[in-house]
Copies of this chain bind each other. A is one copy, B any other.
Amino acid sequence: MAAELSPQQLSETHRPTLDQALDAIGTRAYWSPHPEHPKAYGEGGAPGSLGPAEGKAAFDAVLNTRLDLGQPGTDGWTGGETSPYGLALGVEYPHADPDVLLPAMTAGMGAWREAGPETRALVCLEILSRISARTHELALAVMHTSGQAFLMAFQAGGPHAQDRGLEAVAYAYAEQVRTPLTADWSKPQGKRDPLKLSKSFTAVGRGVSLLIGCNTFPTWNSYPGIFASLATGNPVLVKPHPRAVLPLALTVRLAREVLTEAGFDPNLIALAAERPREGIAKTLALRPEVKIIDYTGSTAFGDWLEANARQAQVYTEKAGVNTIVIDSTDDYRGMLANLAFSLSLYSGQMCTTPQNLLIPRGGITTDAGDKSYDDVVTDIAAAVTGLLGDDARAGALLGALVNPDVKARVDGAAELGEVALPSRTVANADFPDAVVRTPVIVKLDGTKQDDGAAYLSECFGPVSFAVAVESTADALALLRRTVREKGAMTVGAYTTSPEVEREVEDVCFEEAAQLSLNLTGGVYVNQTAAFSDFHGSGGNPAANAALCDGAFVANRFRVVEVRRQA
């Protein structure tokens, strides 16, 4: 079949974007080719993109259908997702026999390898642009699987996820072209003729790359691994979380279309949806064909993968305990507002949401006067209450609880300590079945640092702890211990003291944690921007990889050298 998308056409369309992405990861200034505003799509917006109504229609059209991806080895159908907003999606996905599907996925590797790094990158960019055009549809798919509010599902699940995918492509491309395709080597031999060799260097993929998706960020946490592996020559098997299949199934469908149009084997990407309680991730992770695994989820399964999937390169993002050190501030109101937003966004169901607020029990100095520990806790609670006072606004910020386990943790929080801010049930006018709860803040005594202290475990969801510590020095010691033992995706600190600032930095350097200092405006500790911010460090127990850096891509391929006498 003649390719409908020629390399030249791909290059004209996407090479400038690739170059801009390569530039952005070098400068780390702000950049994104994917507009954040919903109105930027559809009529008058990005060419060929679906507008709000079209996206909604596309989403509705896929509900209660069988999504046939035309994959080899389909031995049945599975599905059964229910939206955290109450809607039963009713979509059926192919169930795969790995004995048939995995060999079929490796069949196209040779042509994909021969295409070379640039063509692979450009095909990935075409896939991303198709995804971008359907952002409205994907936003609804993300919303109705993760429970994110619409605007967040749109932005985090759309342009921000696409940015992270593009960033991974840029890193993958840059890493592969560090070595030239060919070299002439001539070694002087004094008076004799030089020794001469002609050499070629080929980036070769390792084998099937398994993506194990999560419930809360089905696209954002998956696109980096998917695109890093595809761009480095590997087929990608996408195993979504069973409660968040649709966004990745739609992604796989678009990717298979583009691969076909560009003349490659569509089986270079495939979906592995599972039957209820089938637990296929464990089976797939140990298959000899699987050479790379990207995983986001629980520490227990992440640790299991690292220990057992020894035939694969394993990239994990697991649980962590994120800390905010509150030492002092010259913008007390700004700090309160910023923290209230961070605790509330998506009901605290982000891997980057702060959990432990470490506050000296002697209080802190601020531009609004000295504040006791109780003042600070009360004021944060009031800021959250103020932010979420209106149900409609609260719902747009909180989204819905993703599963009953999160609700159980909210309900059980009062048993952990004195409740400084109780959780409130919020009604969602559009989706009465949605479970929407405001954050709960619990006061804990951090002066003893017991091994069994509640604040030393991740309590995923809208539960945070106002931990009273003896001093800022003790806060730093607890921060260090928490990051070292439990890991952290984010650390925040508020201080007006250059010395304290330096001390917090040192802890973060020594324990490899990403630090946000004195955020009081419209940037929040739980948000990272592709091309500029690293998500995680890969150097503490919360994650063994960062999004995105050289290490995330460099071992997904190997360089095979062929040398010949010249």
Residues of A within 8 A of B (CB): 25-30, 109-110, 113, 174-175, 178-180, 183-189, 195, 197, 199, 201-202, 204, 206, 306-307, 310, 505-506, 508-510, 512-523, 529, 532-534, 537-539, 546, 549-551, 554-555, 558-565
Min CB–CB distance A524 → chain B (angstroms)? 10
Query: Please, which residue of chain B has its CB at the minimum distance from the CB of A535?
Result: B561
Contact A508 B539 (CB under 8 A): no
Can you add 14 more A-B contacts, CB < 8 Å, to A27-B183, A30-B187, A514-B561? A109-B510, A110-B509, A178-B550, A185-B532, A189-B522, A206-B512, A505-B562, A515-B563, A516-B563, A517-B564, A517-B565, A539-B560, A550-B554, A551-B555
Q: Could you give 9 example pairs across A and B, Cβ below 8 Å?
A: A27-B180, A30-B185, A109-B510, A512-B558, A512-B560, A514-B560, A515-B561, A519-B565, A539-B560
9 nearest A-B pairs in the assembled complex, by CB-CB distance = A539-B558, A551-B554, A28-B183, A550-B554, A551-B555, A517-B564, A30-B187, A512-B558, A515-B562
Say yes or no: A537 contacts B521, CB within 8 Å.
Answer: no
Task: A260 to B423: give the CA distance in the assembly, Å.
Answer: 58
Chain B residues, CB < 8 A from A550: 175, 178, 550, 554
Q: Knowing A29-B186, A183-B532, A554-B550, say if A195 contacts B523 (CB, 8 Å).
A: yes
Q: Is the CB of A26 within 8 A of B178?
A: yes
Partner of A532, one of B175, B199, B538, B555: B199
Within 8 Å CB of A515, what residues of B?
560-563
Enumerate chain B residues within 8 angstroms of A189, measured Cβ to Cβ.
Answer: 522
A30 and B187 CA atoms in complex are apart in Å by: 6
- A562 nearest in chain B by CB position: B515
Nearest B residue to A198 by beta-carbon distance?
B517
Question: Could you say which residues of chain B place their CB within 8 Å of the CB of A197?
Answer: 523
> In the bound complex, do residue A537 and residue B517 qualify as a contact, i.e. CB atoms below 8 Å apart?
no
Which residue of chain B has the shortest Cβ distance to A200 in the bound complex? Answer: B505
By a CB distance below 8 angstroms, the chain B residues around A30 are 185-188
**Interchain CB contact under 8 A, A29 and B532:** no
Q: What is the minimal beta-carbon distance from A547 to any residue of chain B, in angstroms?
A: 12
- In the complex, what's the smallest C-beta–C-beta distance from A404 to chain B, in angstroms? 33
Q: Which of B187, B199, B558 contacts A538 (CB 8 A)?
A: B558
In-complex Cβ contact of A199 among B28, B110, B307 (8 A): B28
Contact A539 B28, CB 8 Å, known A195-B521, A555-B551: no
B204 near A539 (CB under 8 angstroms)? yes
A312 to chain B, nearest CB (A): 12
Which residues of chain B are near A562, meaning CB under 8 Å? 505, 508, 515-517
A563 to B492, CA, bound (A): 10
For the complex, what is the distance from the CA of A307 to the CA of B113, rounded to whole Å?
31
Is the CB–CB distance between B508 and A560 below 8 Å? yes
Complex contacts, A175 vs chain B, CB 8 Å: 550
